[in-house]
Structure 1
Amino acid sequence: MPIFITLIVVSFVLYIYFKVKIISQKDPLTMRFTNAKARIALGVFIATFGANQYVYYQTQLALFVCLLFIVLGVIQIVYGYRLYKHYRSEIIRLSD
């Protein structure tokens, strides 16, 4: 499935991009904001990687691993999104 491979590559590249971008930032608030975006990208990577493995192998073991990866990925996405919303509102509040 080319869509899974594309999502895996794009999310991994975004994760690396955000992690490298954190190094160049001085403000702790923007660092945490960028880290929240990196966490979302990592969650998408983990979830799509798990789904891709199940599509490729289609065994019972792959199903358990897929479900574990999808659960971990969704946890990362949800937690990253909550952090993203929180720090975005803090940045907007401080900029006003």
Structure 2
Amino acid sequence: MVYLNFLLVAGIIASLVFYFYFKTKQFRSTLPIRTKWYKAKSGIALAAFIIFFGFNATILYPDLIGYIVAVVFLIIGISLGTNNYKRMRHEGRFIQEEYELNK
């Protein structure tokens, strides 16, 4: 159980690092489609953070309230992740085209 908690905390920290990395790339990008693409990627990292946090809540608080909080976080994280994944895939098709047009 201690190892699982350690892995979940490592996932939480890694997802936060990726979130801030992609948000920084979003703010520094000058092309509009690339900005939206980085925004979607940071949304996926945020969804991963929420999912890891929800799983960690079940380990830290193994009672009814902890399970309810975990289910709510998992539902929000999965819906946020799927929405941002679809957006990232859609906008990723136009990255190369936008780069070629703005050389």
Q: Same fold (TM over 0.5)?
A: yes
Task: Decide which of 45, 53, 65 is 1:41's aligned counterpart.
Answer: 45
Alignment-mate amino acid for residue 53 of structure 2: F
Deviation (angstroms), 1:93: 4.5
Deviation (angstroms), 1:13: 0.9
* Alignment gaps of 5+ in structure 1: none
Residue 18 of structure 2: aligned partner? 14
Aligned pairs for 1:68-79 (under 5 A) are 68-79=72-83
* Alignment gaps of 5+ in structure 2: none
Aligned residues: 96
Q: RMSD value over aligned CA atoms? A: 1.3
Whole-Å separation in 2 of the counterparts to 1:50 and 1:24: 31
Deviations 1:21-74 (A, max 9, x none): 111111110000001100000000001101101111101001000000001000
Q: What is the DSSP-based 3-state SS (H/G/I as helix, E as strand, rest coil) of the residue aligned with 2:30?
A: coil
Q: Is the 8 A contact 2:33 2:98 kept in 1?
A: no
Larger Rg: 2
Deviation (angstroms), 1:84: 0.8
Whole-Å separation in 1 of the counterparts to 2:31 and 2:95: 11
Deviation (angstroms), 1:92: 3.9
Q: Is the 8 A contact 2:23 2:42 kept in 1?
A: yes
Q: What is the DSSP-based 3-state SS (H/G/I as helix, E as strand, rest coil) of the residue aligned with 2:93?
A: helix
Aligned pairs for 1:1-96 (under 5 A) are 1-94=5-98
Whole-Å separation in 2 of the counterparts to 1:15 and 1:94: 24
